[in-house]
Structure 1
Amino acid sequence: MSSLLRIRSQRDQMSAIERRIADFILDNAHLLRDYSSQQLANALEVSQSSVVKFSQKLGYKGYPDLKYAVGEDMARSDGQGDGAVEATGEGDRHAMLAETLWQAKSNAEQETRLLNPPETLDAIADAIHRARTVFVIGLGHDSIAARGFTLRLSEAGILAVFHFDPVLMPTSLANAGRDDVLVVFSEHGRRTSLCELSRLFRERIGAVISVTRHSANPLRAQADLALLVSGHDERSHIEQLLYQSALQHLLDLVFMLLCEHAEERMQLLDRNAARMRQLLET
């Protein structure tokens, strides 16, 4: 596992001081080679021993080993970019962009996989499997993934209902019960309406599953279970692509776990696929 990936995946379990160090390294990895442990400590207004302990907590002997590992990661990243240009030939801009984007998506999916341990994914799949009804909601861009996930659940024989308006949704929850589940898609997890809806659902009805970025946010804090997505890039349009790619990969994994819960679910999917082919061919 790369040093930066290790830092990002363990950030939530760190203390406030450790998170300050982690955030600086993640945001300024290319500058770390110019910092001694004392200089880094001074810049962050923490003790030098905090920097050393931070390095050791990540599994390194000390700060020099951490700095060396980060430097290797940066060099490897630069090398992959240069290789893409050389392999595709000068001027082949499309091939270079495709290779760079593929590598970035691969990294985002790997980070996302590490943020969602198997026991969490199993718990989420089991909650959906046991639910009488799965209510799904997502607004704006989040509605695209939410709607697609609802369709997948329906194809697998799970009663799933998609909503796009948190104001109207309480009406459909009138007959909901403790066995029901609410899945809330919100990239940044800060929409007040969705946070309030989640709070009410959890208090009065059933379990809430949040789907957000890997960040501290109120929606994630209120959920019983959380799916976390990683995808970072300085360019906003690329960062959005990485988020969507990693999110889809994560949802596909949950869907596969659901399919393995019951043999009849696989048979139902096969029958539905056969019906669709027949409709398209006639």
Structure 2
Amino acid sequence: MPPLVKIRSEREQMSAIERRIADFILDNAHLLRDYSSQQLANALDISQSSVVKFSQKLGFKGYPDLKYSVGAAVAAAGNGESTRWPPEDQPGGYLLVAETLRRAKAAAEEETMAANSQVELETVIALVDNAPKVFIYGLGDDGLYAREFAMRLSLLGILTVQQADPILMIANLSAARPGDVLLVFSEFGKLPQLWQLSRQFQEVGGKVVSITRHTANPLRAHADASLAICAHDPQPPVAQLLYRSSLQYLLDFVFVLLCQANPDRQRQLAMNQERIQHLIDN
């Protein structure tokens, strides 16, 4: 996993000093090559040993190993600087904003793919493909993506139960059986009712797959499998757009993998699309 992605994903579980180190690295990744462990410690007014322990806690041999890894990631991504949005009154600002947004979306999608390993994705694909029923749940904006993905799974011949009402979803749990799968869409994964729903589903032998931001959160921690979305920007509205873009990109990838994993799914998709087209034409 890329070092900056790892730091972001584990930040919420860090101590206050560790978060200060993490934030400095995330904000100044392109400058880290110029800092020794002592210089970094001096800049943050902490001990050098805190910097070393931080590096080791992330799985690196020491600070030089972390610095090299961050430098390589920065070089691979370009100049490593955070997204800089052009001033509104800058000449050609309209096109510059469009290009900046395009690059920000591309970077978020690449980071999202890096955060979801092939093993993790294959686990999710196997669970969904082999499930007798797939329950899908999401609230608010998450519910829009949950509903759209439920429709796609239905086109593949997968029996889905989708709800945006927590009471109705709990009622539907009476139909859950061992081997069924529950996909829970929740950007931050912190709503108590989602933990309750997931726990009840697991109690009947079902498997829970969480779809959240790539952060430490209760829903993701207690799920049987997870899909992680990366989307970071200093401006909250832009960060929300990046989340939606990366979420859609990952769901599209999962859909394609499901089609490739089971030829019968592709045949069912073709049949359903033909039926839909016939209905539209008539």
Structure 1 length-normalised TM: 0.82
Tell me, in whole angstroms, the C-alpha distance in 2 between the residues paired with 1:122 and 1:71: 29
Tell me, in whole angstroms, the C-alpha distance in 2 between the residues paired with 1:60 and 1:35: 10
CA contact (8 A) 1:29 1:70 kept: no
Tell me, in whole angstroms, the C-alpha distance in 2 between the residues paired with 1:10 and 1:48: 19
Tell me, in whole angstroms, the C-alpha distance in 1 between the residues paired with 2:275 and 2:33: 60
* Structure with bigger RCO (C-alpha 8 Å, 6+ apart): 2
1:198 CA drift (Å):
0.8
Tell me, in whole angstroms, the C-alpha distance in 2 between the residues paired with 1:67 and 1:12: 15
Corresponding position of 1:9 = 6
Alpha carbons of structure 1 residues 158 and 235: separation in structure 2 relative to 1, 3 Å: same
Matched, 1:164 2:164: yes
Alpha carbons of structure 1 residues 209 and 66: separation in structure 2 relative to 1, 3 Å: closer
DSSP-derived class of the 2:137 partner: strand
Corresponding position of 1:265 = 265
Tell me, in whole angstroms, the C-alpha distance in 1 between the residues paired with 2:70 and 2:259: 44
Give a deviation string over 1:3-33, Cα, whole Å, max 9, x none. Answer: xx53223665799479533333114547758
Superposition pairs of residues 29-48 of structure 1, within 5 angstroms: 29=29, 36-42=36-42, 44=44, 46-48=46-48
Q: Percent identity?
A: 45
Superposition pairs of residues 50-199 of structure 1, within 5 angstroms: 50-52=50-52, 54=55, 57=60, 61=64, 76=79, 91-199=91-199
DSSP-derived class of the 1:135 partner: strand
Amino acid at match of 1:138: G
CA contact (8 A) 1:7 1:58 kept: no
CA contact (8 A) 1:136 1:163 kept: yes
Give a deviation string over 1:80-135, Cα, whole Å, max 9, x none. Answer: 979x99xxxx7333322221111111111111111110011001010011111100
CA contact (8 A) 1:29 1:74 kept: no
Report the aligned-residue RMSD.
3.5
Question: How many pairs does the alignment contain?
Answer: 274
1:48 CA drift (Å):
1.7
Tell me, in whole angstroms, the C-alpha distance in 2 between the residues paired with 1:58 and 1:149: 42
CA contact (8 A) 2:137 2:146 kept: yes
Structure 2 portions without partners, runs of 5+: none
